[in-house]
């Protein structure tokens, strides 16, 4: 019985990762001067919420590497420090979701996703400056943060709906 559960979890993680890879590679619009709106966050951030921090970090690493190999010409060179930021974000979401105790799941989701997206944007901006892709100053951080917060709020609404659909039709038991 444990084996079939592991296969089911692995299949669900792989499906969410595949959707995230397609979204990141082909559906992420570029905003000049600010970067891409990463549409894969909706799916890549569901993995640690549903399956824990280890699955979140591993799937984010997989999504980042495979997306690079699929659409490398649109993203430029592979940067290991940005891969570390992706892994960290996946682990942090899983840890925060597991250890923050709140009855209101929507508020919990909003706190976790906004916090991680703000940390992710700061680390990602530093990583792009370090690589020489952005001017070596922090002037672009405020508009990048505003964009990240706006996108995160939209993502939370979509993720909340997807979590409810997942519970009702796929998992059939309540998440914490």
Q: What is the pLDDT of residue 81?
A: 82
Query: For the purposes of burial, counting CB atoms within 10 Å of the CB of 31, is it exposed (0-12), middle (13-18) or buried (19 or more)?
Result: exposed
Q: What is the pLDDT of residue 29?
A: 76
Q: What is the pLDDT of residue 133?
A: 65
CB 92 within 8 A of CB 132: no
Q: What is the pLDDT of residue 95?
A: 96
Q: Which two tokens stand for residue 15?
A: 């499906």
Q: Produce one character per residue of 123-154: b if its CB has 16 or more CB atoms within 10 Å, e if not.
A: bbbbbbbeeeebeeeeebbeebeeebeebbee
Name residue, tokens 């700061």.
122
Distance CA(118)–CA(121), nearest Å, equals 5
What letter does residue 31 receive in the DSSP assignment?
A: E
What letter does residue 53 receive in the DSSP assignment?
A: H
End-to-end CA distance of the chain: give it in Å, rounded.
Answer: 23
Q: What is the pLDDT of residue 172?
A: 59
Q: Enumerate residues 6+ apart whose C-beta is below 8 A from 170.
A: 12
Q: What is the pLDDT of residue 148?
A: 87
Q: What is the pLDDT of residue 106?
A: 93
CATH numbers and ranges of domains, the chain = 2-171 (1.10.1760.20)
pLDDT along the chain (176 residues), means of 10: 75 89 80 72 91 93 85 65 90 94 92 94 83 71 87 90 86 58
């Amino acid at each position: 019985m444990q084996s079939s559960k592991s296969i089911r979890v692995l299949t669900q993680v792989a499906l969410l990762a595949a959707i995230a890879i397609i979204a990141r590679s082909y559906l992420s619009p570029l905003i000049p001067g600010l970067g891409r709106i990463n549409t894969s966050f909706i799916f890549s951030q569901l993995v640690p919420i549903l399956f824990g921090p280890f699955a979140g970090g591993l799937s984010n690493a997989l999504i980042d590497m495979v997306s690079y190999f699929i659409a490398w010409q649109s993203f430029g060179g592979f940067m290991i420090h940005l891969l570390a930021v992706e892994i960290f974000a996946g682990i942090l979401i899983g840890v925060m979701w597991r250890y923050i105790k709140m009855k209101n799941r929507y508020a919990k989701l909003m706190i976790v996703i906004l916090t991680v997206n703000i940390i992710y944007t700061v680390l990602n901006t530093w990583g792009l400056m370090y690589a020489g892709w952005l001017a070596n100053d922090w002037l672009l951080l405020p508009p990048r943060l505003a964009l990240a917060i706006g996108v995160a709020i939209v993502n939370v609404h979509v993720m909340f709906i997807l979590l409810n659909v997942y519970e009702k039709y796929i998992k059939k038991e309540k998440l914490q």
